Structure 1
Amino acid sequence: MIWTVIKIAVFLVIVSAVTLGFSHLADMSGGLRLSSMGMEFTLGPLQAVIAVILLFLAVWLVIKVVGLFVAFLRFLAGDETAISRYFDRNRERKGYEALAEGMMASASGEGRLAMSKAAKAQRYLQRPELTNLLTAQAAEQMGDTKKASEVYKRLLADDRTRFVGVRGLMRQKLAEGDTDTALQLAKKAYALKPRHREVQDTLLKLQTERGDWKGARSVLQSKMRQGELPRDVHKRRDAVMALQEAKGVMAEGASIEAREAAITAAKASPDLIPAVVMAARSYIDKDKPRAAERLLRKAWSSQPHPDLAAVYAEVAPDEDPAKRLKRFGKLLELRPDHEESRLLRAELNIAAEDFPAARRALGDLVETHPTARVLAIMAAVERGEGADDAVVRGWLARALSAPRGPQWCCDKCQNIQADWTPVCDNCGGFDTLSWRETSQNASPLPHGAEMLPLIVGKPNAAPSEARTVDDAEIVEPDGEPDAARKDSGEGTGEKQSAN
């Protein structure tokens, strides 16, 4: 209402100004004198202004007539569309102006204005491949997803705009949370434009979420070939996907193919602990213990990890503690000063009942880095050396509230997971889990019974019914039979594997 009143007021002001101007011109004396071919014309001020206006109109008309004449000559020369283009030129100009204004309105977030300009441009241009896209974008800005979806579907009919339509529908389905349909649309968009970065990333993300590791590896290979992914990053991520593909193949019963895939993944990325573990176990199943040990030693030199030690023990599961300690020497000498090597050496010495050597292996870790595992091993050492029950319980009490040490932690959201997975359970990040300590490491252990295997062997009761540390029976060292001591050593090995 206010805008209408303003427009009326402006119109009245302009009319009044023009009327006032003409009245002044009529009252002015003098005029314009023209002389041509012996003839002289005298025009008053008002007549002079009218003459100038008529002159401009005449020039404009001459230009139009000349343009029409040129178009007619082109038509005679064989250009059948010359005359139609001449008459459509003005419509095209208005149409492209409306299209440009609509694009600017869309960029400014004015969805309703952009929709209006798109409709105007369509009336003048009759170019749906241009105006439909602007209409869809304007509809999305206005929150009219139904209208946008209809326009995107219309774009599918034209080969030139099919990719735009598929991509628009894909983004809509992603926003709605319909990942199944979005995955199918992403595959179609990828088939139309395999070099499109956004489509590649979207398809890769959806495939990893669905566990389509074979398809994801194909997209990853394409990104590397196009130079959008560094070779070392591709090598690591491809190894992760190969590992998951191997697990899927193994779940289907094709163990041979799974073993080969796991070995390939481990060779491609020796610092990928789960791949090395799976590949080493495949070598063990194929009765190739030396190959398994070589693979594990190579991974240990890169990053010592409890899972590597556990599989290294599986190479010879029936060996006695002394032989195991000797065989593990080749592994431990690779990174002798690493904390994991020191803890593993201490646990092996406990299993061999060499408690002073276990204490020496721990060194100053009790003071410098007292994690739950370090303190639990210290409790086992004290127990093996015949310390009082109060001393052992004191170490266990400290272990229950001590930091957990390195764990699988997401580098993106800091979420802690018990086992490694290619995709973070919390944020969905791909290959973001790393074996390290975090600020959340100070959380207490879930149950005191987890410490019991280090002292009295594995408890017979179920975990939910296990007794707490304060209720645990501490066996006297003088009366402990050999079998019990062996159980204690085996419990230590089990604790090491669990960590």
Structure 2
Amino acid sequence: MLFLFFFLIALAAASYGVVWLADQPGSLTLEFAGQHIETSIPVAIGGLLLLIAAIILVWAIIVALVRLPKRMAGGSRERRKAKGLDVLSQGLVAVGAGDLARAKKAAQLAQKLLPEEPLTQLLVAQSAQLSGDNNTAAKAFHKMTLKPETKLLGLRGLHVEAKRREDADAAHHFAAKAQDIAPLPWAGSAVLQHLAASGEWDKAREALEKSVTAKAIDLPEAQKLRAVIETAMAVQREREQPHDALHLARQALKRRPNFVPAAVTAARVLIRHGDQKQAMKLIETVFAASPHPDLVEVYLDALPGEANSQRVAGVERLARLAWSAPAARHALAEAALAARDFAKAREALAPLVAEGEHPTAHTCLLMAEIEDAENGPSGPVREWLARGSRAPRDPVWIADGVVSRHWLPLSPVTGRLDAFEWKTPPHSVHHLTEEGRPNIPIAFRSRPDRPAIEAAAQS
């Protein structure tokens, strides 16, 4: 609307100027090369304007002719680029769909149409990975590292390829180079896992702090990993540097309250240096919130070498802190069985074997042991062993399908930190300890007077 307004004003001004010029008297005389030309002022101005318009038109035609080849070449490049981008799109879709033939064809065509396009190398690498051609994939990723805009992507690809061929040093090298360029979560995690797998816990903690500073990891997750690393450091220094180990374990407990591995490590250090009362107090505090068999094992070490009846009283005091937990009742039953207090052992397990309940394998094996100790080999012993073979499994330390007798800071399969969880294993897992034996409770395994029951449990 505003443009139309100004256009009308300009048109009116031009019309007024033409009328004014036509009304002016006078003439224009031109003598050139023996020629005498005389005309009015309006006609002379009109002729001048026509001459200027003709010159502009001729100049435009000349410029257009000069630029025509370049424009034709540019149009060809644009069409080539458009076709190349379309091929790239189709190729990446084919890679995602797992269509190897289309992906390879698209990669070859993209290399012809767009050899300098960063996505071309990505398509070549991914199609090579899809076909299992790791050498071609690595070469494509290496080319990507030569350009600043694709260097991180190339390093990520080289890291993946190194892990695929199980070259830990090369994988760490590429991850560290990427981490130096930018604090990426994948690079920080890879560097951290490599240092942890190498047992370089101090450097692992430094790497974690760098990721936290760069905000490549959220704080809750960082606190968990700090606790895991500090617990691993405490275990490493437990014998040679007990004071440092105790400090690290307590620090881990502050970061991750009721973290059983940290509590167990701290308690072991305290017991080794004669502070049993402090160790028992620590275990009782953690056991009330996280009843765990590992805590019971250390608690038994902290109890003074008294009579079995007194040890039963100590274990009962601990068990009462989490009386509804199976681990608490199992602990009391085992202590009572060792003291040959069969009534108390049965009483501890009674809620777990009551009608309508589904006792676990550990509970069934304990009941079989109680029957055998009290009445000798009999039908009830065989019945409990049979029930145990079909019973639900007890929780274990498990990570990536691997069961460990003790907690470990990282998975032996993937190297992932904080991978071990205390939970019921799936049916597909091989329920074995490091020694290749069934992961039944230590207290049950270690009794030499029950070879027949143990053999039956293993079978």
Q: Give your verdict on TM over 0.5.
A: yes
- Secondary structure at the counterpart of residue 435 of structure 1: strand
User: Residue in 1 aligned with 2:272?
Assistant: 285
Q: 1:415 to 1:141 in 2, by over 3 A?
A: closer
Residue type at the aligned position of 2:385: A
* Equivalences for residues 32-431 of structure 1 within 5 A: 61=61, 64=64, 98=80, 101-109=83-91, 110-119=106-115, 131=116, 133-141=118-126, 143=128, 149=138, 153=142, 162-194=151-183, 196-250=184-238, 253-367=240-354, 368-383=357-372, 386-387=374-375, 389-391=377-379, 393-394=381-382, 397-398=385-386, 401-403=389-391, 405-408=393-396, 410=398, 415-426=402-413, 429-431=416-418
Q: 1:136 to 1:339 in 2, by over 3 A?
A: same
Q: For 2:394 and 2:189, locate their aligned partners in 1 and report how far apart those are by CA, in whole Å.
A: 31
Q: For 1:401 and 1:145, locate their aligned partners in 2 and report how far apart those are by CA, in whole Å.
A: 46
Residue type at the aligned position of 1:235: Q
Contact 1:270-1:302 at 8 Å conserved across structures: no
| C-alpha displacement of 1:295 | 2.0
| C-alpha displacement of 1:345 | 1.9
Residue type at the aligned position of 2:308: P
Contact 2:336-2:345 at 8 Å conserved across structures: yes
User: Residue in 2 aligned with 1:483?
Assistant: none
Residue type at the aligned position of 1:231: L
| C-alpha displacement of 1:181 | 0.5
Gapped regions of structure 2 (runs ≥ 5)? 1-42, 44-56, 92-105
Residue type at the aligned position of 2:452: T
Q: For 1:201 and 1:246, locate their aligned partners in 2 and report how far apart those are by CA, in whole Å.
A: 22
Q: For 1:393 and 1:90, locate their aligned partners in 2 and report how far apart those are by CA, in whole Å.
A: 94
Q: For 2:410 and 2:337, locate their aligned partners in 1 and report how far apart those are by CA, in whole Å.
A: 37
Question: What is the CA deviation profile of residues 259-307 of structure 1, one whole-angstrom value per residue up to 9, with x for unaligned ones?
Answer: 4323322332234322221111112223332332222122212221111
Number of paired residues?
Answer: 379
Q: 1:307 to 1:444 in 2, by over 3 A?
A: closer
Contact 2:156-2:175 at 8 Å conserved across structures: yes
| C-alpha displacement of 1:90 | 8.5
Question: What is the CA deviation profile of residues 80-100 of structure 1, one whole-angstrom value per residue up to 9, with x for unaligned ones?
Answer: xxxxxxx99987786676556
| C-alpha displacement of 1:258 | 3.3
Q: For 2:242 and 2:188, locate their aligned partners in 1 and report how far apart those are by CA, in whole Å.
A: 31
RMSD after superposition: 4.5
Residue type at the aligned position of 1:247: V
Contact 2:234-2:248 at 8 Å conserved across structures: yes
TM superposition score normalised by structure 2: 0.66
Q: For 1:429 and 1:260, locate their aligned partners in 2 and report how far apart those are by CA, in whole Å.
A: 25
Gapped regions of structure 1 (runs ≥ 5)? 1-36, 38-56, 69-86, 120-130, 460-465, 473-494
Contact 2:141-2:158 at 8 Å conserved across structures: yes
Question: What is the CA deviation profile of residues 413-445 of structure 1, one whole-angstrom value per residue up to 9, with x for unaligned ones?
Answer: 555443333334456554333223345399999
Contact 1:204-1:220 at 8 Å conserved across structures: yes
Residue type at the aligned position of 2:205: R
Question: What is the CA deviation profile of residues 169-208 of structure 1, one whole-angstrom value per residue up to 9, with x for unaligned ones?
Answer: 33443344323211111101101112x2333344344444
